[in-house]
Every structure is written in C-alpha cells, then in structure tokens.
C-alpha cells in the first residue's frame, strides 16, 4: 500500500524535514580518504539553500537521499541519507527536505509480520507517515517547476513551516506511543508501522535521536526492526555531532564544488564488512545510485 502511494515511475530511491531549530553548526571531520575539504562550519543562515540544492541533486539523479538501500525492498524517504539540516541539525523541523523521490531498498520486504498486529495503532502510524511525507513530496514538484527562483523560495518556505508543525506533532505522539508500548516493532504494528517510527525519529532533533537510539537497537536485537535502521540513525547522529560515520550511509554537499560526497567514515578500509553484517550493499554500489564513484582509501 505504501509503495503504491509513493511510486513515482522511474524516480526510485531514506532519512527529513527542513530543520531550523538546531542552531548549532556541524564541523566536518577530515576524511581518511581525502574526500573532504577539511573542517568547515555551516552557518544556519545558508541551510535552506543547501537543503534545496541537495534535494535538486537527488531529483536529477533519480535516487533517494535517504540512502537506505541496496538489496531489499522497503520504502524510505529522501532525507535519511543526506542531512540537509546539518546545517542546523534540523531544528524544529526534524531533518531536511525528505521527500520520497523513490523507494530506497532496505532490509526486508513490505509484507506484514505474522502474529497479532494492533491494527488500530498501525493505522495511526501509517497516517503519521503520510504526514511525515506530505509536504516533503510537494517540494520536489516545486523544484521541477518553471517558477521563478523567488517564487520557488517563497513556496518552499511555506511548505517548510507546515512540515515543521507536522513533525512536531509526529514526534510528540510517537513519544507517547513509545512510553505506552515501547518501540513499536514488527509484531505490534507490522513492518510498515515500525518503518514509520524509524522515519519520524530519523527526522527528529538530535536529542530525540539519541534518546531513542538504544530502544531501536533493542528492538533490532529481538527481530522487531530492520537492522539497517540503526546504521542510518547512528551515522546521522555522528554526522550531526561532527564525527566520522561508521557505515557510510550519509552524504554531504561540498560547499566549494556543490557536489555530493561521502561524509568521512571511521576505519573506512573495513566499512563494507560492517555494512554486510547489517545486510547493506557494498559502499561502491550504494554510491553509484547517487552518481558517485567510490575511491577506496589508500592503505597505509
């Protein structure tokens, strides 16, 4: 059902709203592979333009900025992978212009788990997912339109405000759900319901991501959530803290070249082994979907 809602023909392709709450800037660590331009700060005043550039780049590539993906079918939004908010770790917004450019391929198929599903709660979560994606999808249409730059900026700003309010409602309600049930896992709300919980957290502010990360890990250990979710969320948290990521799921836009590039990775020589343990495709294949050629680090 969700796949049908978000299919855009040939536009195939995780975790975010356009954040403005986190006023702190992010410093990029030096990449072992020499991909970055060194440490640089990202003023919050430039975050909107960066978010739009990242979004446009993904649209041109026909891929999802979430980056969730590879071998397995599971719909995810555009922001799970590019933190357009970085740049202000998605303040009130929860993350960046995550609109579903496509369906990134993630951990497992969309079929529901066996067992007693709480259909009422699952239905509520799916409606929350619609809210999570509603205005983000519209941003793509605006970017592809023939409107003047000024008019685009005006309309995008209006959408960002609406999405910010939706994100606030979502994270508030999800916090209540978690307080009552714990992490809403596969056996309780189905895989699509569990996916929704992940998306909302991935698009939330850093404090929420750090607060619920351990619950997600526990759910994964019990088979109640896709292992890939933890990789994307952990990398996102590290990126926002200005640290190197672990699994290579996050991309960033270079302010000088204006091109997407891989956010620096810790112990990059062994990144594919770590990715494989979570069912993620090799990093070279992953980056190809964004039009990037992977250059392995030079062995010392």
From first to last of its 300 residues, what are the pLDDT tens digits of the chain? 444 444 434 333 343 333 334 434 466 776 544 454 333 344 444 555 555 555 555 444 444 444 444 333 343 444 566 554 443 333 323 234 333 333 334 433 444 455 689 999 999 999 999 999 888 888 768 867 888 888 888 888 898 889 889 989 999 999 999 999 999 999 999 999 999 999 999 989 999 999 999 999 999 999 999 999 999 999 999 999 999 999 999 998 788 886 789 999 999 999 999 999 999 999 999 999 888 999 998 876
Helix axis angle, 119-144 to 186-202, nearest 10°: 30
Q: What is the pLDDT of residues 246-269, one digit of tens each?
A: 999 999 878 888 678 999 999 999
Q: What is the pLDDT of residue 216?
A: 97
Q: Which candidate, 193, 211, 60, 190, places its Cα nearest to that of 117?
A: 190
pTM above 0.85, yes or no: no
Position of tokens 């709450």? 21
What is d(CA 219, CA 184) in angstroms, rounded to the nearest whole number?
A: 9
Q: Which candidate, 292, 295, 296, 275, places its Cα nearest to that of 69?
A: 275
What is d(CA 90, CA 19) in angstroms, rounded to the nearest whole number?
A: 3
User: Do the Cβ atoms of 97 and 49 come closer than 8 Å?
Assistant: no
What is d(CA 47, CA 184) in angstroms, rounded to the nearest whole number?
A: 32
Q: Torsions phi, psi of 262, nearest 5?
A: -70, 130
What is d(CA 162, CA 135) in angstroms, rounded to the nearest whole number?
A: 7
Q: What is the pLDDT of residue 241?
A: 96
Tokens of 85: 């908010």
């Amino acid at each position: 059902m969700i796949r049908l809602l978000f299919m855009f023909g040939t536009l195939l392709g995780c975790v975010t709203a356009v954040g403005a709450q986190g006023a702190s800037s992010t410093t990029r660590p030096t990449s072992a592979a020499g991909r970055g331009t060194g440490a640089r700060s990202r003023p919050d005043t430039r975050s909107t333009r960066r978010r739009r550039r990242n979004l446009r780049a993904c649209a041109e590539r026909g891929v999802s900025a979430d980056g969730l993906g590879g071998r397995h079918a599971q719909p995810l939004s555009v922001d799970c992978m590019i933190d357009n908010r970085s740049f202000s770790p998605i303040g009130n917004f929860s993350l960046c212009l995550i609109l579903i450019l496509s369906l990134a391929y993630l951990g497992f198929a969309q079929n529901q788990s066996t067992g007693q599903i709480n259909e009422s709660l699952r239905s509520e979560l799916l409606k929350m997912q619609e809210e999570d994606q509603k205005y983000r999808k519209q941003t793509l249409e605006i970017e592809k339109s023939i409107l003047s730059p000024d008019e685009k900026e005006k309309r995008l700003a209006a959408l960002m405000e609406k999405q910010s309010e939706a994100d606030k409602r979502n994270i508030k309600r999800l916090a209540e759900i978690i307080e009552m049930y714990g992490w809403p896992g596969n056996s309780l709300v189905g895989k699509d319901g569990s996916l929704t919980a992940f998306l909302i957290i991935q698009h939330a502010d850093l404090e929420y991501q750090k607060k619920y990360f351990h619950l997600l890990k526990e759910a994964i250990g019990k088979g109640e959530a896709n292992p890939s979710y933890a990789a994307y969320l952990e990398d996102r948290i590290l990126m926002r803290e200005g640290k190197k990521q672990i699994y290579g799921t996050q991309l960033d836009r270079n302010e000088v070249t204006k091109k997407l590039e891989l956010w620096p990775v810790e112990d990059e020589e062994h990144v594919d082994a770590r990715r494989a343990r979570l069912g993620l495709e090799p990093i070279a294949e992953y980056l190809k979907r964004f039009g990037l050629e992977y250059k392995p680090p030079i062995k010392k």
